[in-house]
Amino acid sequence: MKADSIEARVQSSLYGARRWHPAEIVFWVLALAAFFLLPRQLLILNEIAILGLFALSLDLILGYAGIVSLGHAAFFGFGAYAAGLFAKHASADPLAGLAVGMGAAGLLGLLTSPLILRGSDLTRLMVTLGVALILGELANSLGWLTGGADGLQGIVMGPVLGLFEFDIFGSVAYLYSLAVLFVLFVLARRITGSPFGLSLRAIRDNPLRASASGVPLHWRLVAVYTLAAAYAGAAGALLAQTTQFVSLDVLAFHRSADLMLVLIIGGAGYLYGGLIGAVAFKLLQDVIASFTPQYWMFWIGLFLVLFVLGGRELIHGGIKAVVGRIGSLGRGAPT
Amino acid sequence: MLTILFDGIAYGMILFVLACGLSVTMGLMNFINLAHGAFAMFGGYVTVLAMQRLGLPFLMALPAAFIAAALAGLVLERLVYRPMYAKSHLDQVMFSIGLVFMAVAGADYLMGSSQQFVHLPAWLSGRFDVAGIGVGRYRLFIIVLCGALAFAMQWGFTRTRFGSRLRAAVDDARVARGLGIPVNRLFALTFAVGSGLAGLGGALGIELMGLDPTFPLKFMIYFLIVVTVGGTSTISGPFFAAMLLGVADVAGKYLVPQLGAFIIYALMVVLLITRPHGLFARGRA
């Protein structure tokens, strides 16, 4: 009887985590409402959506599996180039290009995953950084394929689903990116709530114990790394398609570092961290760039330092309070 | 061919001086300081300013670079690094990347984004031939100086009381502390010396590697390769790793320039996969 009730309680707690919190619904409604409320800011909204997806991808491996990476831009850039080249040489259909970008980046993730299975955090940081640098170097030297330092030009995208043409205001671009982000987010949410996702958290918290209780450590890590790579590839593909241009910048080191900042702002391990971080990061970038375009790197650095030194707890406490407030509103009673 | 080897060794020597401080701090406090290159850049700019504004000769500017960077290291260690030791690796990485970004933008703001140059004294410029091998005087100077430094460090690390305390603290900081070794003070001192050496390396490297605000980012990966490949428990490990890296990099750039930095990164990844605990690591339980 007692064991039964514990089992039931565990089950209900696991299922409870899967249920949609009212604050989540508010979040997505706001994201859609932004399309109507801010018609002049659609281009930056599109960038936020892409950055959010990219951060979501890092959150999958960092927040859930505990794999640190300083070279996540490798997959982003690989997906961007794959989608760009596909659009240029094969087909202008965006969804097919998206699939190609995801597939290519996922394959790269699968191939490079043995590298992150061994060694300490330090080794992982170095190896992921090395992979990103190698790809950047490759993209630079394979000028005939990638356009080298000039970037990949001449991408012409067809309409989404054969119906919606991309326009210069970015309205289709934003909706397209948001839709992709939403679909992939729901998928990620489902995955992280599944036994697979729970086993990842077990690995993150205590690898030895997880493997002792029968979790196949290596295969789970390979799987999530591949998945995250595909997500990053999707983000890259979205960028390539909506801007119709791919430059070497997609593989640059600062992109990986910025991504870390995004996730640090938002907090890792609950999926929304990347999205909230992306919004905050882009707003921050916009504000700083408007008064000191040249030295905004300094301010980003300062934010990083301050965040790590203690600002993070402050902000996260605030966010938690707000979410709790919305949650209690939804339920009609404070908990 | 031998000239390439010679240049590579000189390059590797500078890398060693730049990176050895990092390897000790990493080993001692298990702290990943990606901002190490910022100290090197600082030393480089101090040299440039000392020579251009104050008119100091090159040989006088080198100690100035060392002292300035060491002081900067001491102050920063006290103020901002110390709270970071207990945090996770990821936090440390983010923190030091933030410092790098600030250093890069700050240097850009204060010094401009152009490359800086120094005028070497006449007796250090030019090259001469020994048995058909072109030997750059400056490179020879670097090899002699850094070689002497390496020997001094190896001696200090293995033969002095300071060195044995340091090694004890690297091996197990808690036990060392329990035995009454002032680990924090030891670390502050080591951090300062390591930063100073980085500053010196930055000053020496202006001629070979160039100096501009992106220096810490450009060479960060090189330091990290030296440290990860060489391991953190000895002086000789990073030394040989730096030599290997220097020679491979110079040879790669001379012989197959179209591959660029590709060789180095590939080398690093291969080494890290085959020897994840460093090339010369002692077996650790």
Number of domains in chain B: 1
| Secondary structure, 3-state, chain A | CHHHHHHHHHHHHHHHHHCCCHHHHHHHHHHHHHHHHCHHHHHHHHHHHHHHHHHHHHHHHHHHCCCCCCCCHHHHHHHHHHHHHHHHHCCCCHHHHHHHHHHHHHHHHHHHHHHHHCCCHHHHHHHHHHHHHHHHHHHHHCHHHHCHHHCECCCCCCCECCCECCCCCCHHHHHHHHHHHHHHHHHHHHHHHCHHHHHHHHHHHCHHHHHHCCCCHHHHHHHHHHHHHHHHHHHHHHHHHHHCCECHHHHCHHHHHHHHHHHHHHCCCCCHHHHHHHHHHHHHHHHHHHHCCCCHHHHHHHHHHHHHHHHHHHHHHHHHHHHHHHHHHHHCCCC
Q: How far is CA A8 from the centre of its chain?
A: 34
Closest-CA distance of chain B to residue A287, Å: 17
Whether residue A301 lies within 8 A of chain B, CB to CB, comes out as: yes
B98, A62: Cβ pair inside 8 Å? no
Residue B180 DSSP symbol: T
In this prediction, residue A226 carries a pLDDT of 92
Q: How many domains does chain A have?
A: 1
Helix A253-266, helix A296-306: angle, nearest 10: 40
| CA–CA distance, A201 with A184 (Å, rounded to integer) | 20
| CA distance to partner chain A, nearest, from residue B160 (Å) | 30
Distance CA B61, CA B69 (A): 12
What ipTM does the predicted assembly reach?
A: 0.72
Top mean pLDDT of A38-47, A99-108, A263-272, A290-299 is at A99-108
As beta bridge partners, residue B136 has B127
CB contact under 8 A, A305 and B95: yes
pLDDT at B275 over 70: no
Q: Which of B58, B36, B38 is nearest to B108 (CA)?
A: B38
Q: Does A294 touch chain B (CB under 8 A)?
A: yes
Express as a percent the part of chain A with pLDDT over 90.
13
Q: Pick the closest to residue B210 from B20, B102, B48, B17 (CA basis).
A: B48
pLDDT at position A211 over 70: yes
A88 assigned to some structural domain = yes
B281 touches chain A (CB under 8 A): no
CA distance B129 to chain A (A): 35
Residue of A nearest to B259 (CA): A141
Q: DSSP 3-state assignment of B66?
A: helix
Q: A223-235 burial string, b = 16+ CB within 10 Å, else e?
A: bbbbbbbbbbbbb
Give the nearest chain B residue to A119 (CA atoms).
B276
Give the residue numbers spanning the domain of B133.
2-219
CB atoms within 10 A of CB B199: 34
Q: Please state which of the ranges A4-8, A232-236, B12-16 shows the lowest mean pLDDT.
A: A4-8
Residue A305 is nearest to which of B26, B99, B266, comparing CB atoms? B99
Torsion angles phi and psi, residue B172, rounded to 5: -155, 100
Give the residue-averaged pLDDT of B146-151: 86
Nearest to A70 among B93, B106, B258 (CB): B93
Gap from A33 CA to chain B (nearest CA, Å): 34
Q: For residue B92, what is the nearest residue in chain A, using CA coordinates?
A: A308
Residue A2 counted as domain residue: no
Q: Above 90 in pLDDT, residue A107? A: yes
User: A203-217, A276-290, B229-243: which has the minimum mean pLDDT?
Assistant: B229-243
Residue A117 in this model has a pLDDT that exceeds 90: no
Structure tokens at A109: 């993730």
Query: Nearest CB to B272: which of A62, A123, A309?
Result: A123
With both helix axes pointing from N to C terminus, report the angle between A121-141 and B215-230 in degrees, rounded to the nearest 10: 130
Please write the tens of the pLDDT for every residue from B207-231: 777 777 778 777 877 887 787 777 7
Q: At what angle do helices A73-89 and A253-266 cross, to 10 degrees?
A: 120
Search chain B and give the residue with CA nearest A296: B105
> What are the backbone dihedrals phi and psi of residue A35, each rounded to the nearest 5 degrees, phi first?
-60, -40
Q: Is A309 on the interface with B (CB under 8 A)?
A: yes
**How much is the pLDDT for B157?**
79
The C-alpha of A258 sits at a distance from chain B's nearest C-alpha, in angstroms, of 10
A153 in contact with chain B, both atoms CB, cutoff 8 A? no
Residue at B6 is within a domain: yes
Q: Do B224 and A70 touch (CB under 8 A)?
A: no
Minimal Cβ distance to A301: which of B87, B92, B100:
B100
Q: What is the mean pLDDT of residues A45-69?
A: 87
Q: Do B83 and A309 touch (CB under 8 A)?
A: yes
For residue B58, the Cα-to-chain-centroid distance in whole angstroms is 20
Residue B275 covered by a domain:
no
Please indicate whether residue B272 or residue A237 has the higher confidence score (pLDDT).
A237
Q: What is the pLDDT of residue B278?
A: 56
Range of the domain at A75: 39-252+268-275
Inter-chain CB proximity A125 and B80 less than 8 Å: no
Q: Which residue of B has its CA nearest to A68?
A: B90
Question: Would A115 be classed as within a structural domain?
Answer: yes
Q: Within an 8 Å CB–CB cutoff, is residue A264 touching chain B?
A: yes
* Highest mean pLDDT: which range of A72-86, A298-312, B28-42, B140-154: A72-86
Q: Is the pLDDT of residue A104 over 90?
A: yes
* Pairs of residues, one from chain A and one from chain B, whose beta carbons lie less than 8 Å apart: 122
* pLDDT tens digits along A160-183: 776 677 777 778 888 888 999 999
Count of residues making up chain B: 285
Q: How far apart are CA A163 and CA A209, in angstroms?
A: 52
C-beta atoms of A140 and B105 within 8 A:
no
Residue B105 C-alpha, separation from nearest chain A C-alpha, in angstroms:
5
- Residue contact B224–A62, C-beta within 8 A: no
pLDDT value of position B170:
75
Q: Check if A156 contacts B (Cβ < 8 Å).
A: no
Work out the pLDDT band at A80, boundaries 50, 70, 90. Answer: very high
What is the Cα–Cα distance from A252 to B159, expressed in whole angstroms? Answer: 44
Judge whether A119 is closer than 8 Å to chain B, CB to CB.
yes
Nearest to B276 among A123, A138, A297 (CB): A123
A61 near A228, Cβ under 8 Å? yes
Overall average pLDDT of the B130-144 stretch: 76
Q: Does B273 reach chain A within 8 Å, measured CB to CB?
A: yes
Structure tokens at A232: 């990053």
Q: Does B86 touch chain A (CB under 8 A)?
A: no
Nearest to B101 among A130, A131, A301 (CB): A301
A251 touches chain B (CB under 8 A): no
- State the pLDDT at residue A332: 45
* B239 in any annotated domain: no
Instruction: Please write the tens of the pLDDT for every residue from B19-55.
Output: 887 877 777 667 777 888 888 888 888 888 888 877 7
The pLDDT value recorded for residue A334 is 39
Interface of B with A in 160-219 (CB under 8 A): 217
The yes-or-no verdict on residue A292 having pLDDT over 80 is: no
- Would you call A260 and B109 a contact, using CB atoms and an 8 Å cutoff? no
Please say whether the dihedral angle defined by the alpha carbons of residues B154, B157, B161 and B164, taken in this order, is positive or negative. negative
Alpha-carbon distance of A159 to A167, in angstroms, equals 10
Which residues of B are less than 8 Å from A127 in CB distance? 269, 272-273
Question: What is the rounded distance in angstroms from the CA atom of residue A221 to the CA atom of residue A219?
Answer: 5
Average pLDDT, chain B: 79
**Residue A210 pLDDT exceeds 80:** yes
**The overall pTM is greater than 0.95:** no
Q: Is residue A230 predicted with pLDDT exceeding 90? A: yes
The answer to whether position B268 is within a domain reads no
Element spanning B198, H or E: helix B183-209
- Burial (0-12, 13-18, 19+ Cβ within 10 Å), B111: middle
Which residues make beta-bridge pairs with A152? A246
Nearest one of A240, A254, A305, A303 to A71, comparing CA atoms: A254
- What the block records as the tokens of A295 is 């030295």
Cross-chain residue pair A129–B87, CB shorter than 8 Å = no
Q: Residue B127: which H helix or E strand, with range?
A: strand B127-130
Provide the sign of the torsion angle of the four alpha carbons B199, B202, B203, B204, taken in this order.
Answer: positive
Residue with tokens 């030891």: B186
* B93 in contact with chain A, both atoms CB, cutoff 8 A: yes
**Structure tokens, A34:** 């932004």
Give CA–CA dist B74/A2, Å, rounded.
60
Distance between CA atoms of A80 and A126, rounded to whole angstroms?
23
User: How many residues does the structure list for chain A?
Assistant: 335
Q: How far is B189 from chain A (nearest CA, A)?
A: 23
Contact between chains at A130 and B272 (C-beta distance less than 8 A) = yes
